[in-house]
Structure 1
Amino acid sequence: MSQQQHGWPVPQPPRKRTSVGKVVGIGCGGAVGLLVVLGVAGALVGGGGGGDEAGGSASVSPGAVRTGTDAKAEAEKTEASEGKVVTFKVWGTAPAGALGPVDITYGSDSDNRQGRFRNGEFSATLPFDKDTLYYTVTAQLQGSGDIECSVTVEGHAEKGHAAGGYNICHAQANSGVFGGWD
């Protein structure tokens, strides 16, 4: 009895693809075309050739003084964060181990530093940068002890705790999507 008498479909052999090279070629061309379109759109939005006010063209070399929009954005960033600091703290009891009492690392998404735990405490500050995604402090015990840690950004504090062994105290303040700190 054949399969068609029972109403079952007869499986068809897979089709052979003969245009694989063409699809890849079009895909690459499409990607290049997309990059060209994005570049042109970026130039139009950004003002194009970057000329000076007299209508001529200007080029900016690395380390040169910025003018116009770049200088204004940089001034706003400096003005907004001028005088503000981020505070990192670790405190508690921790007897010295092979590496000292506590191994401390603090900083931001783009800057990590080492700290020293002295007389049961550590404290440091860094200048506030409004473009930073997060500020963090970690403190690892070197055998035993009981410590707490905190990071404070614009009045918002995050805290952590560790006790015993080689446990790690961790506190991190994250920049919120709509401003502020989480």
Structure 2
Amino acid sequence: MNQQYPQQPGWGQQPQHPQQQAGWSGPQQPGWGAPPPQPPKKPSTGKILGFGCAGVVALFVVIGIFAAALGGGSDDSSKGSTVSSEPTATDDGTPAEKGESAEAKPSDKPKADEPKKAAKPKVVFKVWGTAPAGALGSLDITYGSDSDNRKGTFKDGKFEATLPLDDDAMYYTVMAQLQGSGDINCSVTIDGETKKAHASGDYNICHAQASKGLLGGWD
């Protein structure tokens, strides 16, 4: 007696895929039949650059508007601080010039507390009169101090010279000797004090001298 056994899939036929079996309605895997998903689109480089340039231009426009506003405000403030054209009076009561304030004009009056500089005393030497030239020449003149001796020239009937006062000098003198004839006078003046002398005829000498006194004055 022959018995028939059911055939197993591996004995005589290949097993079918579940999708190939009749009535299979299971979900399909993405890789088996559906197209793969598209990758996300990258933003265009040109659009990014265009947006960046537009932003920079807009930033400069905003800065320009802000600077113009500041400049306009400063101009308005400067216009408001104008100098008054009305004349004002100065310290001495006289009207000031138009457009100039009394405070801006310097005062011509010296300050009361400003000390005056004392002028340094000087020594003045003089010779005058008639002194014709002789065989040895014209009138012979010497002047100065005990430490400073100088020669002078008699011209047009007179001679005059000035030296600064030296506090260390012991005396100041002037000497004029005639040359055969004539009539002359001579003097030395220190700080308002004058010493005089006279000579006439022959070879006489006119000699005037101011000496320092014990108390500091000039005798």
TM-score, length of structure 2 as denominator length: 0.45
Residue 120 (structure 1) aligns with: 157
Q: Does 1:175 align with 2:212?
A: yes
Q: Residues 114-164 of structure 1, C-alpha deviation per residue, up to 9 Å, x if partnerless?
A: 000000000000111112100000000001000000000111110000000
Residue 137 (structure 1) aligns with: 174
Q: Does 1:84 align with 2:121?
A: yes
The answer for unaligned runs of 5 or more in structure 1 is 1-78
Q: How does 1:7-156 map to 2 (within 5 A)?
A: 83-156=120-193
- 1-side partners of 2:137 and 2:128: how far apart? 14
Q: Residues 44-96 of structure 1, C-alpha deviation per residue, up to 9 Å, x if partnerless?
A: xxxxxxxxxxxxxxxxxxxxxxxxxxxxxxxxxxx98x632100000000111
Name the larger-Rg structure: 2
Q: Does 1:160 align with 2:197?
A: yes
The answer for unaligned runs of 5 or more in structure 2 is 1-116
Distance of aligned partners of 1:83 and 1:99 in 2 relative to their CA distance in 1, 3 Å threshold: farther
Q: How well do the aligned residues superpose, as a CA RMSD in angstroms?
A: 1.5
Q: Which has the higher helix share?
A: 1
Q: Which amino acid aligns with 2:218?
A: W
Q: Residues 3-61 of structure 1, C-alpha deviation per residue, up to 9 Å, x if partnerless?
A: xxxxxxxxxxxxxxxxxxxxxxxxxxxxxxxxxxxxxxxxxxxxxxxxxxxxxxxxxxx
- 1-side partners of 2:199 and 2:138: how far apart? 13
- 1-side partners of 2:141 and 2:198: how far apart? 13
- 1-side partners of 2:124 and 2:195: how far apart? 11
Shift of residue 179 of structure 1? 1.2
TM-score, length of structure 1 as denominator length: 0.54
SS in structure 1 at match of 2:126: strand
- Percent identical pairs in the alignment equals 69
Moved runs in structure 1, 4+ residues, more than 4 A?
Answer: none
